[in-house]
Structure 1
Amino acid sequence: MIEPALVLEDARLSLEGNAGPVNILHGISLTVPPGQTVGLVGPSGSGKSSVLMLLGGLERATSGRVQAMGKDLGGMDEDALARLRRDKMGVVFQNFHLIPAMTALENVATPLELAGHPDAFARARAELEVVGLAHRSDHFPAQLSGGEQQRVALARASAPRPAILLADEPTGNLDEANGKAVIDLLFGLRDRHGSTLVLVTHSHELARRCDRVIRLRDGRIDQDSAGEGSE
């Protein structure tokens, strides 16, 4: 039996608000096999990004079980979670999260250096070439357009060749042309590394390309259906 890449089992999330606890997720159960592409969709506030945060160990479930690559995230401390993300996951955010004082090349190479790869800069250059930015490797984030910054972020996420790619609204801050280019790159990077891909999106085009589309509403799974990628 093949071990799932990601598992949520009756996962619940409550956060403290000004008026007391706010229930965000209400018993989410989800199993994602290796190599599957999953689109998380739904209205704003439905819990999409919160599910992604749980899967990446960036937020801890209030109750229930969260598992990635066979490891129970609830039993891991922050250092262990950071190592898991470094070694097994690539995360892409809507707001890029590039380091302003580092060039594009340095931004991509940094996680590789932290993981101890001796060829960090060579691999970083190769990833920038894949996303079409080899000629911009010495530029700082402020010198790059939004589309270019997101492509650097994609290169950084994929450079460690992660088993799992998590993307939170990767086209949310981009115009239509740049958004389409980033979508193509994201799926291309997923295919190159055979990664499991889970992404949060409001884009119907992006969701349709997934193997599976999960619609959330009010912190619960409302629908779980096959996407066009499964055909």
Structure 2
Amino acid sequence: MTDPVMRLKDLTLSLDGNAGMVEILKGISFDVMQGETLGLTGASGSGKSSLLMVMGGLERASSGLISALGHDLTPMGEDALARFRRDNMGVVFQSFHLIPTMTALENVALPLELAGEADAFGRAATELEAVGLGDRGNHYPSQMSGGEQQRVALARAVVGRPKILLADEPTGNLDAATGELVMDLLFDLRDRTGATLILVTHASELAARCDRVIQLRDGLVLSDNVAVAAQ
């Protein structure tokens, strides 16, 4: 049997709020397999985005274990987590997170430059072409629409050929038509790169495109099912 790409065991997350410590995740356990597309759903405040942050090493769990690609992330320091994420993961956020003083081409090339890749800008140009922005490489984020910025963010997320692709409500700030375009691109990029995709979404039509859907409620797994479209 293939080993899981990610394994979560009894993960908890507590954060300090105005009224004291708040339990965000209350003991999450599941495996994610190679090539799987996993949707994380649930109402606002259910813990799905926090869970994705923990899975990406962007938030440290309060307790429990998490491994990715056979590596235990639990004891890693911030620098080690950053290197692991750079080498193995791509992340797409709802709010794009592009660097405003860099062009689209520079934003996409940045992860490769940080990794010391020689052909960073050539590969970045190829990825911009793949998301339909080959002619926008010299434009800054402020000169681009929200949909274009998110397409740049997609190109940046996959330029390093990550084994794991994490997406947190990637269409949340887009209109319906642009959001559909971005999601089509995201799934196309997943198919092209062979990455395992973990997608946080509140949209049932997006969840139905996933192989499997885990629904969260109050920091717990409410259900874990194969999506109807994948059956």
Give the TM-score range, shorter chain.
over 0.9
Structure 2 counterpart of 1:168: 168
Contact 1:212–1:229 at 8 Å: present in 2 too? Answer: no
Q: SS of the residue aligned with 1:85? A: helix
Mapping of residues 46-125 of structure 1, within 5 Å? 46-125=46-125
Q: What is the Cα deviation at residue 229 of structure 1?
A: 4.9
| Paired letter, 1:31 | D
Q: What is the Cα deviation at residue 30 of structure 1?
A: 1.1
Name stretches of at least 5 consecutive residues in structure 1 with no aligned partner: none
Q: CA–CA distance in 2 between the matches of 1:4 and 1:80?
A: 21
Q: What is the Cα deviation at residue 3 of structure 1?
A: 1.8
Structure 2 counterpart of 1:43: 43
Q: What is the Cα deviation at residue 228 of structure 1?
A: 4.0
1:128 corresponds to 2:134: no
| Residues 1:111 and 1:229: Cα distance change in structure 2 (over 3 Å) | farther
Q: SS of the residue aligned with 2:2? A: coil
Name segments (4+ residues, structure 1) moved above 3 Å: none
Name stretches of at least 5 consecutive residues in structure 2 with no aligned partner: none
Q: SS of the residue aligned with 2:191? A: helix
Q: SS of the residue aligned with 1:173? A: coil
1:143 corresponds to 2:143: yes
CA displacement, residues 113-150 of structure 1 (integer Å, 9 cap, x when unaligned): 11111110000000000000011110000000000000
Q: CA–CA distance in 1 between the matches of 2:90 and 2:228?
A: 24
Q: What is the Cα deviation at residue 19 of structure 1?
A: 2.2
Structure 1 counterpart of 2:190: 190
Q: SS of the residue aligned with 1:187? A: helix
CA displacement, residues 13-56 of structure 1 (integer Å, 9 cap, x when unaligned): 00011221100001000100011000001100000001101100
Identity of aligned residues (%): 66
Q: CA–CA distance in 2 between the matches of 1:139 and 1:93?
A: 20
Q: What is the Cα deviation at residue 179 of structure 1?
A: 0.4
Structure 2 counterpart of 1:152: 152
TM-score, normalising length: structure 2: 0.98
1:227 corresponds to 2:201: no
| Paired positions, count | 231
| Paired letter, 1:223 | S
TM-score, normalising length: structure 1: 0.98
Q: CA–CA distance in 1 between the matches of 2:229 and 2:74?
A: 32
